[in-house]
Amino acid sequence: MNTMDISLRPPSNLGRWCGYLVLALFAAVSLGPIWIAVKTALSDSRTLFSSASSFLPQDPTLFNLQRVLGLVNPADPRLAQMSYGKIDFYRALVNSVIFTLLAVIPQIACSALAAYAFARLRFTGSRLVFSLFLSATMIPSVVLFIPNFILIKDLGWLNTFQGMAAPYALMTPFAVFFLRQMFLSTPRELEECALVDGASYLSIFFRIVLPLHRSALATLTIITSLSAWNEFFWPFLVGRSEPVRVMSVAINAFRQQQAGGTPDWSGLMACTVLGIVPIAILLVLFGRKVVESFQYSGPK
């Protein structure tokens, strides 16, 4: 009896504290680099060398953030001291918002319609079309990027928002698959009652299916918005010109501009921080929802 009691006890105190220590270490490793970016963004670029190993900015200033957002008067003497190129990161952030909206909203709308059809409606070819959709998740994106680039170029859509968003706008295999799983996981009685009452499939979709799956739709919106916000390769291929380039493409461009000498680190980190801010806000406001969205995006 005695040995059983011992083994049923929670882990020893020492083991517990070691565990907490390891968890704290991982939390620090996760957030540390982000904090160093914030620190650098708030530092005067002349103090970077002397404060390289410190955790706090020397003479904190918002100048870098204002500078990359174009909020500093061009005649400002502090700008004249800097040899760095001009950065219009405000434009890039606006472009990222436009790209994200264009890629996500129609994608979810069209994918939801298709997912409802695959989950609930019987039609010839349903299985075939769905398995084709599913097999598309296996194709490495670079295989599709070359022909898609040629298509966008032939349409004359290079360096336009429609060219950047088009491949995501009508469907992604993931969105269709995810929503179909969600629609299948709820009982169909409610929809059948509505059918008896003479509702059309369209109104069942809008009045029952969509409201019933608000939570799944929110999850999908979070996942697809974040991946659109963070997307790099495709916008880099088709949207490299300044008026349309998105946040990640702009950061890459600034970095490559300065490939020679010492990069404008405080400016770059200011851009980086601005690119992270929307994600931080999302985490602070809807932490649980975001975490659970990704947590349950695994195997079903």
Partner 1 sequence: MSERKLSPARSTAQVISRVSPRRPIYRSLFYKESICAWIFITPALLGFTVFYLVPCVRAVYVSLTDWNLLRPAKFVGTANYSRLWSDPNFWNSMRVTVFYVLYNIPIQTVIGLLLAALLHRLGRSVALRSVILAPYLIANVIAAILWFWMLDPLLGFCNALLHAFGFGTIAFFSDQRLALPTIAAVNIWRHMGFVALLFYTGIQGIPQNIYEAARIEGAGPWRSFWNITLPLLRPTLVFVLVTSVIGSFQVFDSIAVTTLGGPVNSTRTIVWYIYESSFVNFRMGYASAMSCVLFVSLAVVTAAQMRMLRSNRSDLG
**Residue 172 in contact with residue 109, Cβ under 8 Å?**
no
Q: Which residue, 86 or 127, has its beta carbon nearer to partner 1? A: 127
Please, what is the angle between helix 13-41 and helix 265-295, to 10°?
140
Q: Which residue, 80 or 196, has its beta carbon nearer to partner 1? A: 196
Closest distance to partner 1 from the beta carbon of 214 (Å): 19
Q: Which residue, 98 or 136, has its beta carbon nearer to partner 1? A: 136
**Residue 64 in contact with residue 45, Cβ under 8 Å?**
yes
Please pick, from the candidates 34, 79, 97, 158, the single residue that binds partner 1 as defined by CB under 8 A.
Answer: 34
Please, what is the angle between helix 265-295 and helix 89-120, to 10°?
20
Total binding residues toward partner 1, as defined by CB under 8 A: 104
Closest distance to partner 1 from the beta carbon of 175 (Å): 9
Closest distance to partner 1 from the beta carbon of 127 (Å): 11
Closest distance to partner 1 from the beta carbon of 73 (Å): 28
Is 4 a binding residue for partner 1 by CB under 8 A? The answer is yes
CA dihedral of residues 256, 156, 230, 146 (deg, nearest 10): -80
- Residue that has been written with the tokens 């909020």 in this structure: 71
Q: Which residue, 6 or 75, has its beta carbon nearer to partner 1? A: 6
Within positions 127 to 156, which residues make up the interface with partner 1, using CB under 8 A? 129, 132-133, 136, 138-144, 146-151, 153
Q: Taking contact as CB under 8 A, which single stretch among the options 34-42, 68-76, 87-95, 210-218 is the one that binds partner 1?
A: 34-42
Helix (H) or strand (E) holding 25: helix 13-41
**Residue 183 in contact with residue 116, Cβ under 8 Å?**
yes
- Residue that has been written with the tokens 């598309």 in this structure: 136
Closest distance to partner 1 from the beta carbon of 156 (Å): 14
Please, what is the angle between helix 247-257 and helix 89-120, to 10°?
140
Within positions 149 to 188, which residues make up the interface with partner 1, using CB under 8 A? 149-151, 153, 166-167, 169-171, 173, 176
Q: Which residue, 76 or 216, has its beta carbon nearer to partner 1? A: 216
- Residue that has been written with the tokens 């900015």 in this structure: 57
The pattern of x and - marking residues 242 through 281 that bind partner 1 according to CB under 8 A reads -----xx--xx--x------x--x--xx--x--xx--x--
Alpha helices in 155-213 (DSSP H): 161-169, 173-184, 189-196, 201-204, 210-212
Please pick, from the candidates 70, 195, 241, 281, the single residue that binds partner 1 as defined by CB under 8 A.
Answer: 195
Please pick, from the candidates 61, 64, 95, 111, the single residue that binds partner 1 as defined by CB under 8 A.
Answer: 111
For residue 81, give Cα distances in angstroms to 68, 85, 174.
15, 12, 49
Is 116 a binding residue for partner 1 by CB under 8 A? The answer is yes
Q: Which residue, 76 or 215, has its beta carbon nearer to partner 1? A: 215
How are the residues of the chain apportioned to helix, strand and coil, as percentages rounded to the nearest 5? 70, 0, 30
Within positions 63 to 92, which residues make up the interface with partner 1, using CB under 8 A? none
C-alpha to C-alpha distance for 104 and 222, rounded to whole angstroms: 10
